[in-house]
């Protein structure tokens, strides 16, 4: 069976690159599982963990925010504003960010602030999620 090549790229560096059996992402319209021979597809992604499944039943989880995915020729490319492997995440910092975002949300100021706080909160929750796995 053919394999998928997976690459996760941010503007600063290539975060992850390797082979996999399956990639599971959360697109804006729902969860997507990508297997080899998938047809070419482009989809923006939600702030959510990306799961990369390997042949031996192992898996890697990567925290991805502000990105989109492109699949073509058995190659999955995820372009994101930020992407972190579980080991790169500082749980204390994420916890702190979560508290800050929650506080800002409960204070309620202008529209834009709420949007940004919600986005920050999502990211913090996702990071905590990923780091605990």
Site residues (vs another protein, CB under 8 A): 9-14, 27-29, 32, 39-44, 66, 68, 70, 72-73, 77, 79, 81-82
Residues 63, 22: Cα–Cα separation, whole Å: 17
For the CB of residue 28, give the shortest distance to another protein in the complex, in Å.
Answer: 6
Token digits of residue 54:
């390997």
Specify the residue, 79 or 105, whose C-beta has the smaller distance to another protein.
79
List CB contacts of 125: < 8 A, sequence separation 6 or more: 98
Q: What is the smallest separation between the CB atom of 9 and another protein, expressed in angstroms?
A: 5
**CA 132 – CA 63 distance, rounded (Å):** 12
Question: For 21, which DSSP code?
Answer: S
Which residue number, 60 or 74, has a Cβ lying nearer to another protein?
74
Give the shortest CB-75-to-another protein separation in angstroms.
10
Bridge pairing between strands 14-20 and 30-34:
unpaired
Q: Which is nearer to another protein, 36 or 66 (CB)?
A: 66
């Amino acid at each position: 069976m053919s394999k998928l090549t997976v690459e996760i790229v941010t503007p600063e560096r290539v975060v992850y690159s390797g082979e996999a059996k399956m990639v599971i992402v959360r697109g804006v319209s729902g969860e997507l599982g990508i297997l080899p021979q998938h047809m070419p597809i482009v989809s923006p992604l939600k702030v959510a963990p990306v799961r990369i499944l390997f042949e031996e039943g192992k898996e890697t989880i990567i925290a991805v925010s502000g990105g989109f995915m492109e699949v073509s020729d058995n190659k999955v490319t995820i372009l994101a504003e930020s992407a972190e492997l579980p080991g790169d995440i500082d749980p204390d910092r994420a916890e702190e960010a979560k508290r800050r975002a929650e506080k800002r949300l409960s204070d309620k100021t202008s529209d834009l602030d709420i949007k940004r706080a919600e986005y920050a909160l999502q990211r913090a929750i996702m990071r905590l999620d990923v780091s605990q796995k």
